[in-house]
Amino acid sequence: MRVTVIGVGRLGEALVAGLCRAGMPADSITVIGRSVERTFEVAHRHGVRVADLRDLPDECDVLVVAVKPQQIEGVLTGLGSALHGSTIRPIVLSVVAGVATDRIEQFLPSVVPVIRAMPNTPMTVGAAITAIAPGAAATEHDLRLVESVLGSVGEVLRVSEDQLDAVTAVSGSGPAYVFLVAEMMIDAAMSLGLDRVTADRLVIGTLAGSSAMLGVGDVDPVELRAAVTSPAGTTAAALEVFERSAIRRTFQQALTVARDRSLELSGMMRPPLERISADQN
């Protein structure tokens, strides 16, 4: 399998690193980036190849688009031109937030399958949770191939594309919620008299250990919470404060707002009509 990654930011490089860790030969991976310096830096760090959007590799099974949303129109315009004049028909895997598969497909030959993915930043440590959704031309074979690529950096699950905005709110933005909890717990720990180093170690260790427990077996989070909560004990006293503060409703509102913003961005990302490829398929 040969993979080309367009975009050498954090997610693009994380995927390259994950593929290398999973045992994919470095000469089977190609990177394409806007910054020549950054592209060669990433290529040198991982031992992979470098190409240009106007000169795609002769063999490419999966072509990952990992650029910023504001850059995708230019990238897809160039990619569409390159693929219309090429015999290669890679799977185009987009990890760009807010851009639907049908909008990506407008720039490409109709025979090119498009799959959209929503990973999250734990990809950088090989612990991502990524949801994928197929476009019109994507087959079961295409989905399995993409799952093998993204599986190198974490867990992969399939959803329908109309669920991806909710996925964005839950897991795409989710790491920031966890980091906010860590930040608030550290601040609270210091207010109780602990020094910063001790507070950091206690909070980060607690969150890491608790997350590990969530991944073991089929134990429900409710059961895990109950197991820590003795009647009338310290944990119960703290949880009562959380419940009185309507924390559940706050989380519901926060995720709903994030979902709605993702929907709004999806609408804003529709390519201008003059950019849509004519039917050259």
**Quick one: pLDDT band at residue 54, thresholds 50, 70, 90?**
confident
**Which residue in 9, 2, 1, 69 sits closest to 33, CA to CA?**
9
Distances (CA, A) of 241 to 37, 231, 245, 246: 52, 15, 6, 9
Under a CB-based contact definition with an 8 Å cutoff, are residues 91 and 116 in contact? no
DSSP H stretches of helix in 229-280: 234-244, 247-268
State the number of CA atoms in the 13 A half-sphere of 225 facing the CB.
Answer: 7
Strand 49-50 with 29-32, pairing: parallel
Q: What 8-state DSSP symbol labels residue 231?
A: T
| 201-247 residue pLDDT tens | 999 999 999 999 998 888 899 999 999 999 999 999 999 999 999 99
Number of H helices, E strands in the chain: 11, 8
**Quick one: pLDDT band at residue 270, thresholds 50, 70, 90?**
low
% of the chain at pLDDT higher than 70: 95
* Phi, psi angles (nearest 5°) of residue 159: -140, 170
User: How many residues appear in the chain?
Assistant: 281
Q: In what order do the strands lie in the sheet with 114-118?
A: 49-50, 29-32, 3-6, 62-65, 91-94, 114-118, 128-134, 154-158
- The confidence score (pLDDT) of residue 276 equals 43
- The confidence score (pLDDT) of residue 268 equals 66
Angle, vertex CA 116, rays to CA 111 and CA 118, nearest 5: 170
Tell me the domains of the chain and their CATH numbers: 3-164 (3.40.50.720), 172-264 (1.10.3730.10)
| 84-122 residue pLDDT tens | 877 888 999 999 988 899 999 999 998 999 999 999 989
The 3-state DSSP class for residue 199 equals helix
State the number of CA atoms in the 13 A half-sphere of 206 facing the CB.
Answer: 15
What region, left, alpha or beta, does residue 31 occupy, with left being phi > 0 and alpha being psi -120 to 50 degrees?
A: beta
